[in-house]
């Protein structure tokens, strides 16, 4: 799975700039449609694989075949991981000033944070409903005592899910029914995912009729250039500086995100319930930062200073994770994400202020490509370091390295003002749609 994530990140880095450039000439609407379908292809496969046997029992596919196909589609979905790039490009098309543009960026990212809160809870509720009914009918009643027994018996439940024949803790004689209940719960979640994908596609098609910026009558097709992102940043010192900030910061971010759940489980004994609460808190912080705070902070202080505040806060947060030994410490540190989540909309704001609208999709795509590259590279390298430190007296030490990378990104942002004073951007990227204000 780690290799699949790394390859997916590499494919996303290769294709990100291409989708932005393609949408600049062919329209945002078709690009959004293709990327949504491509990104959701693995989910669509699992949804249909769970529904087809109900309609056509003779078409039942081996589980191994389905999972192999899912892994392939999941990996290839990296070629379509540009929905945020295209959304930001559309926002740039539809807004006239930096204040409204940054507010739009924030709302787009806030919806991601909201989905982080609602999605896991909704999926868990849909999947576990029948199991809850079984426990309730068995006499547990779903009270506090039942919850305690469930938390104490997480390993027994996991064993049953894996087919090891363990009974549900506290469920008495209904333990034998858990496998069928679990499978039905998974099928229900996949069906819900399929419905959401269909609604997303329908919304793009219907809204696209009234949004002229999403549509273009001219169509061109160029093959993805694996070096497009690097070439975009190499052509201009200002963009090159932004690219280095993005690389340093998001290498650290993905390193922390990919390892924090495992670290909390091993070091602090977090179970699935506590980890879910932690992720929900992160989602709330994301909504607050990118839906509310970005509208105030960036216009008041400018995108560069807000990004710098986020980078410094992330460095402090990483240092805290490295020494955290209590649940309350981790939850308090996660609340700092309210500030760190301002970094990406600030970076997008810097790009949109300096780059002409005719190049905004290409440039944001290049930023997304660098970000996607770190999504595979960061966890791979950081995972090796975390494994090496496991069992030592300081298992969180690698988080200091992530914090140091954030400080290095902060140091690079201090060069942005110097580069801007020299009169850059280049003519190619500083087109007629670019703003001159910083």
Residue 157: predicted pLDDT = 37
Domain count, the chain: 1
Whether 389 is covered by a domain: the verdict is yes
pLDDT of residue 410: 96
Residue 23 within a domain: yes
Is position 296 within any domain?
A: yes
Residue 26 domain flag: yes
Domain, as residue range, for 264: 2-130+184-215+226-421
In a domain, 269, yes or no: yes
Structure tokens at 20: 């932005």
Are the C-beta atoms of residues 231 and 14 closer than 8 Å to each other?
Answer: no
Phi first, then psi, for residue 256 (nearest 5°) are -70, -45
At residue 376, the pLDDT reads 72
Which two three-digit tokens encode residue 343?
């970094």
Check: CB of residue 245 under 8 Å from CB of residue 33: no
SS (H, E, C) 55-85: HCHHHCCCHHHHHHHHHHHHHHHHHHCCHHH
Contact 281, 116 (CB under 8 A): no
Q: What is the CATH number of the domain that holds 301?
A: 1.20.1250.20
Q: What span, in angstroms and rounded, lies between the C-alpha atoms of 190 and 47?
A: 5
- pLDDT for residue 235: 72
User: Is residue 40 assigned to a domain?
Assistant: yes
| Tens-digit pLDDT string for the chain (438 aa) | 566 777 777 777 777 667 777 877 777 788 888 888 888 888 888 777 766 665 555 556 666 777 788 788 888 887 888 787 788 778 777 777 766 776 777 777 777 767 766 776 677 677 666 555 555 555 555 444 444 444 444 444 344 444 444 444 444 444 445 555 556 667 777 788 888 888 888 887 876 545 545 555 455 555 555 566 566 677 778 888 998 999 999 999 988 887 888 888 888 888 767 787 888 888 888 888 877 888 888 888 888 999 999 999 999 999 999 988 888 999 999 999 999 999 988 888 888 777 776 677 677 777 877 887 787 777 777 777 777 777 677 677 889 999 999 999 999 999 887 777 665 554 445 554 455 443
Looking at residue 71, its pLDDT comes to: 81
What pLDDT was estimated at residue 115? 74
Q: What is the pTM of this model?
A: 0.65
**Residue at 416 is within a domain:** yes
Q: What is the Rg, in whole angstroms, of the alpha carbon atoms belonging to the chain?
A: 23
**The pLDDT value given to residue 52:** 63
Q: d(Cα 219, Cα 424) in Å, to the nearest integer?
A: 32
Distance from C-alpha of 289 to C-alpha of 113, rounded to nearest angstrom: 9
- Do 291 and 106 meet the contact criterion of CB atoms below 8 Å apart? yes
Q: Which two tokens stand for residue 56?
A: 């056509």
Element (DSSP H or E) covering residue 189: helix 178-210
**Does residue 208 belong to any structural domain of this protein?**
yes
Q: CB atoms < 10 A from the CB of 203, how many?
A: 12
């Amino acid at each position: 799975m780690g290799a699949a994530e790394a390859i997916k990140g590499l494919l996303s880095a290769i294709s990100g700039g291409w989708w932005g450039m393609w949408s600049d000439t062919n329209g945002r609407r078709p690009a959004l449609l293709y990327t949504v379908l491509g990104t959701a292809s693995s989910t669509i496969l699992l949804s249909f694989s769970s529904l087809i046997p109900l309609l056509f029992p003779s078409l039942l596919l081996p589980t191994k075949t389905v999972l192999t196909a899912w892994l392939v589609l999941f990996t290839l979905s990296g070629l379509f991981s540009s929905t945020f790039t295209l959304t930001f490009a559309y926002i740039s098309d539809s807004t006239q000033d930096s204040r409204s543009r940054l507010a739009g960026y924030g709302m787009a990212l806030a919806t991601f944070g909201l989905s982080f809160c609602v999605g896991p809870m909704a999926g868990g509720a849909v999947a576990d409903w029948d199991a809850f009914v079984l426990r309730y009918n068995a006499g547990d009643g779903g009270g506090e005592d039942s919850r305690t027994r469930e938390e104490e018996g997480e390993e027994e439940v996991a064993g049953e899910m894996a087919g090891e024949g363990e009974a549900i803790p506290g469920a008495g004689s209904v333990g034998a029914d858990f496998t069928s209940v679990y499978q039905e719960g998974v099928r229900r979640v996949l069906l819900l995912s399929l419905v959401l994908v269909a609604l997303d596609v329908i919304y793009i098609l219907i809204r696209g009729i009234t949004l002229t910026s999403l549509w273009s009558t001219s169509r061109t097709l160029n093959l993805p250039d694996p070096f497009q992102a690097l070439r975009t940043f190499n052509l201009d010192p200002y963009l090159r500086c932004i690219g280095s900030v993005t690389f340093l910061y998001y290498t650290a971010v993905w390193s922390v995100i990919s390892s924090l759940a495992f670290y909390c489980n091993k070091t602090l004994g977090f179970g699935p319930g506590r980890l879910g609460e932690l992720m929900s808190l992160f989602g709330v912080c994301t909504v607050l930062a990118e839906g509310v705070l970005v509208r105030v902070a960036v216009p008041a202080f400018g995108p560069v200073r807000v990004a710098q505040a986020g980078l410094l806060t992330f460095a402090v947060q990483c240092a805290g994770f490295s020494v955290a030994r209590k649940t309350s410490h981790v939850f308090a540190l996660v609340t700092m994400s309210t500030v760190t989540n301002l970094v990406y909309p600030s970076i997008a704001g810097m790009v949109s202020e300096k780059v002409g609208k005719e190049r905004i999709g290409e440039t944001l795509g290049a930023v997304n490509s660098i970000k996607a590259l770190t999504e595979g590279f960061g966890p791979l390298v950081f995972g090796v370091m975390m494994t090496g430190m496991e069992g030592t007296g300081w298992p969180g030490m690698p988080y200091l390295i992530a914090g140091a990378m954030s400080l290095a990104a902060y140091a690079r942002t201090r060069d942005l003002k110097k580069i801007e004073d020299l009169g850059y951007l280049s003519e190619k990227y500083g087109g007629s749609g670019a703003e001159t204000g910083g």
